[in-house]
């Protein structure tokens, strides 16, 4: 019997297994398998994808083996769309290593085996003119757009997926239009062709890596930009351009250094599988594998939605701003504080509020179309428990004098409900003036903001406890296999064909970034406040946590942040120095987060068989370019928009309120200027919030015990307290309307469409998300450049946010706040 005859014997079982795996993974790849009927009707053989996907997964799942004769292997190789490996290194299509080395089996992770191709065409060019133009262009564009939108009331984060989809037709166009002229660089032996052939998948991956650097690996902008914004827009002080550039660039590069040091343990081993990358892999394979001619192609769908979203955003972006948030209760009861606290989507609980603005739907939480449904549910459960149960009870019982302050606010207040004059307690050295602080009175927080910190404490410990209980055995086994036995799979074996990155490259980066940071703190001591040893302490903290957090992310897709712990540590060591607190937090938290993001990109390149040195150069160059663009855009925005981020001086309806930077600034006041000892210490008003650390550690234990007691209830293991607590901490900077519409859109697409319209969902869902992001972003920038800079605006009833003018008013008797009724 021929090879294909024997493969067909496994058809029924493989289809069932692959259908189940793809449904669980929400991947596109099975769509190609469903074309088998069309192939058979036309008398053609199975596509190679069908064979590799089904049989690779089938052999992994059932542990079947086959003997393939040389003639049969040649029959398979003849169908492959890539140059086969030499016989001495060949891995058969069935996932077996023909050389007999057991270490090179298919990936032991079922999801990886089902999603990632085991084929590699090492002849594909990657250093192409197209890659550089599209890659650098994507990096600059995303960096600019994300920096621009980060200052708006409803910030829009444009992720690399948008560039991943948008760059494909541009790549095809360049391949069709550019001449294949060969160009030699003067005075060198280097030469390249403007058009070396069809636009290929490896070029596309590198373009996306460039774009991901521009999007700060999904964070939008570099974390260090918030330090600049806090100093210039909120503290109203100056910081010079040079330390600004150094701070943003060096913190990003430092994360890249840690990524290189731990790459051996977090990228090469098969058990470090990085679940989030499988979506990207699926999109790449979907976009580059031949589509059926039936129906609308993904590229055409993308262009249609792009034009539609671009055209539509002129309404919520300029002509009718009220579409960003419509609060029914505020329209019905325009003078009722209580009704507006309940109904306001921006400054209340959001009951009855809605939005028709994609920027609002994806602000702060990312696109609901690309977030897994179970994560959406956990997030919304946390939000609902906090917003509709805990917060109202706390406000009703006047916890922490809740009625004296707004229900929703990330600002700081005096004891009589007035906005806290932070500048009055900052001396000429940019440090706390203790006498002025005692005279003005202790700093107060809204109950929502205080509880937000409490749940953040709980989230940190809950993440560690949950991972230890539910994934501890898995992580321990993965760690032993990756560090001790160092088992590799077919993907690692195929990557050995390419030159690896020398460790001294990363060591040099670490030396430059740490040495440069120390020198920066010494030279600009008065501007940054952090002593040189603070940099070393932050580096020790981030380097220590990069490996464990990397293991957690690579195996469970969960990672605790170090921002609160960093603030806490330096707040006790250097009280009264807000800039030092922000700089230390940036080095402690951001370098670790960036290291994990870079490692994730390395694993994506690993799965897509991108030469490691190409990854190194693209990631490094993209990081530096993005950092520079971030700083330039920040400088431009802060100097071109009057009173940016100052809500007390901005005109009504202005979008430049900087909600994320406001939270960052207030955190610097709480943890840096005033210090944790005065707020959360033994004599602080909010000292009881420290119990949340213990509570967060214990609650997952209860869930785990119930799970062990009721093993037949499988859904209990899906209860992730850390993700639920994350939903409870989105307010602020997010508002309730963001969470509500995010959940509704997520329900429609990632539950209903994914379950009942699966063909459409697999084909168009991610494309729809990318097109909505891109169209909204382009129109937002166009509106600002054409109208915003000139101050041209429309003043009519439809150009107001929320209509909730008294939602931020206190309800305690005798508290007098300007613009608010007195109770």
For residue 711, what pLDDT is reported? 74
Between the ranges 39-53, 346-360, 366-380, where is the mean pLDDT highest?
346-360
- What rounded mean pLDDT belongs to the chain? 80
For residue 535, what pLDDT is reported? 95
**Phi-psi bin for 71: left (phi > 0), alpha (psi -120 to 50), beta?**
alpha
Cis previous bond, 28, omega within 30: no
DSSP string, 414-465: -TTSPBP-GGGGB-TTSSB-HHHHHHH---EE-HHHHHHHHHHHHHHHHHHH
Percent of the chain with pLDDT over 90: 34
Nearest to 26 by CA among 110, 117, 109, 115: 115
Average pLDDT over residues 788-801: 78
For residue 180, what pLDDT is reported? 85
How many angstroms separate the Cα of 706 from the Cα of each of 696, 700, 715, 716? 17, 10, 11, 8
Query: What's the CA gap between 350 and 320, in Å, rounded?
Result: 20
For residue 155, what pLDDT is reported? 79
Q: What is the pLDDT of residues 583-619, one digit of tens each?
A: 999 999 989 988 998 999 999 999 999 999 999 999 9
Q: What is the pLDDT of residues 486-497, one digit of tens each?
A: 556 788 888 888
**pLDDT score of 651 more than 90:** no
**pLDDT score of 174 more than 70:** yes
pLDDT-derived band at 52, boundaries 50, 70, 90: very low
**pLDDT score of 62 more than 60:** no
Between the ranges 45-59, 106-120, 155-169, where is the mean pLDDT highest?
155-169
Q: Which structure tokens are listed for 182? A: 């060969």
For residue 390, what pLDDT is reported? 93
Average pLDDT over residues 698-727: 82
For residue 479, what pLDDT is reported? 60
Q: Which residue has the tokens 């049969």?
A: 72
Average pLDDT over residues 94-112: 51
277, 598 Cβ separation under 8 angstroms: no
Average pLDDT over residues 144-148: 90
Q: Which residue has the higher pLDDT, 400 or 366?
A: 400
For residue 797, what pLDDT is reported? 79
Strands (E), 84-159: none
Query: What's the CA gap between 373 and 389, in Å, rounded?
Result: 23
Q: Which residue has the higher pLDDT, 638 or 157?
A: 638
**pLDDT score of 663 more than 60:** yes
**pLDDT score of 557 more than 80:** no
**pLDDT score of 510 more than 80:** yes
How many angstroms separate the Cα of 396 from the Cα of each of 340, 402, 447, 740? 15, 8, 11, 23
How many angstroms separate the Cα of 808 from the Cα of each of 306, 385, 823? 37, 21, 14
For residue 292, what pLDDT is reported? 61
Q: Which residue has the higher pLDDT, 385 or 476?
A: 385
For residue 761, what pLDDT is reported? 83
**pLDDT score of 9 more than 80:** no
Q: What is the pLDDT of residues 420-449, one digit of tens each?
A: 999 899 998 888 999 999 898 889 999 999
Q: What is the pLDDT of residues 266-325, one digit of tens each?
A: 888 877 878 778 777 877 877 787 766 677 877 788 889 889 999 999 999 888 988 989
For residue 84, what pLDDT is reported? 39
Query: What's the CA gap between 585 and 342, in Å, rounded?
Result: 35
For residue 531, what pLDDT is reported? 94
Q: Which residue has the higher pLDDT, 276 or 238?
A: 238
For residue 484, what pLDDT is reported? 58
For residue 688, what pLDDT is reported? 92
Query: What's the CA gap between 336 and 353, in Å, rounded?
Result: 16
601, 208 Cβ separation under 8 angstroms: no
């Amino acid at each position: 019997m021929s090879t294909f005859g024997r493969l067909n014997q496994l058809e029924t079982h493989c289809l069932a297994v692959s259908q189940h795996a793809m449904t669980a993974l929400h991947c596109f790849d099975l769509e190609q398998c469903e074309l088998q009927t069309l192939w058979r009707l036309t008398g053609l053989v199975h596509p190679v994808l069908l064979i590799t996907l089904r049989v690779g997964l089938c052999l992994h799942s059932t542990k079947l083996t086959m003997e393939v004769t040389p003639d049969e292997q040649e029959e398979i190789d003849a169908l492959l769309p890539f140059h086969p490996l030499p016989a001495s290194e060949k891995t058969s299509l069935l996932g077996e290593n023909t050389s007999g080395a057991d270490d090179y089996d298919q990936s032991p992770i079922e999801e990886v085996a089902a999603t990632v191709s085991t084929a590699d065409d090492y002849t594909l060019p990657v250093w192409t003119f197209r890659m550089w133009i599209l890659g650098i262009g994507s990096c600059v564009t995303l960096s600019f757009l994300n920096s621009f939108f980060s200052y708006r009331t409803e910030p829009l984060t444009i992720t690399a997926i948008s560039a991943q989809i948008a760059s494909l037709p541009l790549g095809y166009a360049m391949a069709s239009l550019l001449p294949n002229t060969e160009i030699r660089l003067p005075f060198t032996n280097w030469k390249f062709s403007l058009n070396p052939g069809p636009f290929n998948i490896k070029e596309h991956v590198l373009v996306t890596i460039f774009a991901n650097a521009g999007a700060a690996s999904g964070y939008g902008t570099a974390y260090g930009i918030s330090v600049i914004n806090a100093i210039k827009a909120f503290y109203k002080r100056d910081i010079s351009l040079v330390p600004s550039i150094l701070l943003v660039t060096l913190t990003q590069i430092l994360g890249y250094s840690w990524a290189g040091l731990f790459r051996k343990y977090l990228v090469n081993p098969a058990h470090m599988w990085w679940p989030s990358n499988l979506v990207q892999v699926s999109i790449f394979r979907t976009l580059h594998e031949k589509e059926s001619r039936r129906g609308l192609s993904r590229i055409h769908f993308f262009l249609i939605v792009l034009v539609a979203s671009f055209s539509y955003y002129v309404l919520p972006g300029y002509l009718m701003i009220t579409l960003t948030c419509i609060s029914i209760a505020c329209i019905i009861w325009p003078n009722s504080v209580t009704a507006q606290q309940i109904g306001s989507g921006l400054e209340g609980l959001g009951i009855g509020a809605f939005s028709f603005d994609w920027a609002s739907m994806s602000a702060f939480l990312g696109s609901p179309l690309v977030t897994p449904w179970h994560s959406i549910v956990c997030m919304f459960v946390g939000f609902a428990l906090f917003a509709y149960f805990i917060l109202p009870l706390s406000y009703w019982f006047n916890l922490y004098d809740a009625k004296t302050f707004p229900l929703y606010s990330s600002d700081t207040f005096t004891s009589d409900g007035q906005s806290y004059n932070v500048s009055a307690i900052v001396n000429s050295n940019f440090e706390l003036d203790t006498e002025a602080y005692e005279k003005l009175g202790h700093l107060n927080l809204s109950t929502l903001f205080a509880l937000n910190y409490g749940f953040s404490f709980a989230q940190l410990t809950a993440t560690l406890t949950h991972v230890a209980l539910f994934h501890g055995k898995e992580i321990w086994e993965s760690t032993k296999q990756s560090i001790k036995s160092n088992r590799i799979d077919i993907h690692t074996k195929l990557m050995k064909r390419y030159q690896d990155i020398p460790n001294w490259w990363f060591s040099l980066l670490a030396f430059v970034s740490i040495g440069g940071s120390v020198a920066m703190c010494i030279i600009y001591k008065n501007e940054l406040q952090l002593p040189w040893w603070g940099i070393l302490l932050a580096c020790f903290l981030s380097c220590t946590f990069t490996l464990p957090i990397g293991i957690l992310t690579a195996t469970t897709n969960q990672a605790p942040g170090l921002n609160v712990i960093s603030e806490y540590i330096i707040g006790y060591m250097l009280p009264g120095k807000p800039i030092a607190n922000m700089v230390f937090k940036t080095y402690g938290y951001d370098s670790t987060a960036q290291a994990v993001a870079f490692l994730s990109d390395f694993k994506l390149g690993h799965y897509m068989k991108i030469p490691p040195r190409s990854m190194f150069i693209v990631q490094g160059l993209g990081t530096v370019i993005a950092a520079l663009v971030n700083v330039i855009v920040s400088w431009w925005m802060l100097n071109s928009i009057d009173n940016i981020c100052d809500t007390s001086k901005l005109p009504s309806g202005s979008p430049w309120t900087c909600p994320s930077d406001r939270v960052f600034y207030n955190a610097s006041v709480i943890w840096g200027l005033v210090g944790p000892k005065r707020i959360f210490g033994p004599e602080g008003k909010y000292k009881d919030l420290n119990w949340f650390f213990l509570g967060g550690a214990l609650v997952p234990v209860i869930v785990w015990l119930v799970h062990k007691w009721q093993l037949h209830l499988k859904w209990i293991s899906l209860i992730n307290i850390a993700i639920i607590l994350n939903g409870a901490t989105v307010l602020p900077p997010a508002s309730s309307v963001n969470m509500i519409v995010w959940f509704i859109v997520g329900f429609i697409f990632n539950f209903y469409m994914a379950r009942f319209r699966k063909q459409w969902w697999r084909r168009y869902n991610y494309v729809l998300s990318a097109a909505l992001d891109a169209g909204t972003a382009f129109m937002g920038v166009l509106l600002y450049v054409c109208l915003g800079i000139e101050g041209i605006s429309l003043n009519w009833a439809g150009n107001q946010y929320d209509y909730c003018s008294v939602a931020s008013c206190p309800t305690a008797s005798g508290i007098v706040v300007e613009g608010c009724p007195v109770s």
